[in-house]
Structure 1
Amino acid sequence: MAEKKRGYLPLSTAGLIRYAETERGIKIKPEYVVVIALFFTFVVIFARLVFG
């Protein structure tokens, strides 16, 4: 049998990035994102109640 070479093939995804291969950027856990969103939600609700 012929041995198949497994090499890196060029991307044919019309310029889309493979995000699993990128190591750049800020790493934030999903739990932190939810907590921050809830915090800002409560801040906005509180500000609307206090400042009208």
Structure 2
Amino acid sequence: MKYLRNRAGIQQDELAHILQMSRTNISNYESGRVSPPSTVIFALAELFSVSADFPY
């Protein structure tokens, strides 16, 4: 997720706003502390135009 976000030039707080969640959630997903639910994975796949099986 961090790779895609950085490649797109989006900050954590911007991605959090787009996905309507907290920046803490984004940070937890990116650090591996928490795995994103499938709804987030599908939203990221659509947002970044990648397959949902992309290694987030």
Identify the TM-score tier after normalising by the shorter chain. under 0.3
Between 1 and 2, higher relative CO (CA 8 Å, sep ≥ 6) is seen in: 2
TM-score normalized by the length of structure 2: 0.24
Give the structure with higher Rg (CA). 1
The answer to which structure has the higher helix fraction is 2
